[in-house]
């Protein structure tokens, strides 16, 4: 399992606008004002694909220009996919 961390606001955004990604999220908990959750290493690519799909469908105008929603989706995607915590922590 890989552990990820988002602010409460970012996690609420994920739940509202990137709903398909929720299928892969397990063991959600709050700590120190952040939301921690786990994703199986086997499902990391599916999780990432669902975020990218949401960006293409809802975060772009005519699948061409990134809109304000897409900018936030990209920011969250990059924070998750390139975060140190997600790449190194594997809870037992």
For the chain, which residues make up each domain, given as ranges? Answer: 2-88
pLDDT at 42: 92
Mean pLDDT of 19-28: 92
pLDDT at 28: 95
- Cα(55)–Cα(75) distance, integer angstroms: 11
CA dist list (Å): 76 to 34, 82, 88, 91, 92: 14, 10, 18, 22, 26
- pTM higher than the cut 0.85: no
pLDDT at 85: 54
Dihedral over alpha carbons 52, 11, 58, 56 (to 10 degrees): -10
CATH code of the domain occupying 2-88: 3.30.70
Give yes or no for residue 86 having a pLDDT over 60.
no
pLDDT at 16: 94
pLDDT at 80: 86
């Amino acid at each position: 399992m890989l552990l990820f961390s988002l602010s409460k606001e970012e996690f609420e955004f994920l739940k509202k606008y990137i709903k398909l990604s929720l299928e892969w999220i397990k063991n959600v908990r709050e700590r120190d004002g952040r939301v921690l959750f786990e994703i199986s290493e086997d499902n990391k690519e599916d999780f990432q694909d669902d975020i990218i799909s949401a960006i293409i469908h809802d975060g772009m105008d005519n699948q061409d220009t990134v809109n304000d929603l897409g900018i936030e989706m990209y920011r969250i995607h990059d924070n998750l996919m390139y975060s140190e915590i997600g790449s190194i922590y594997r809870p037992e």
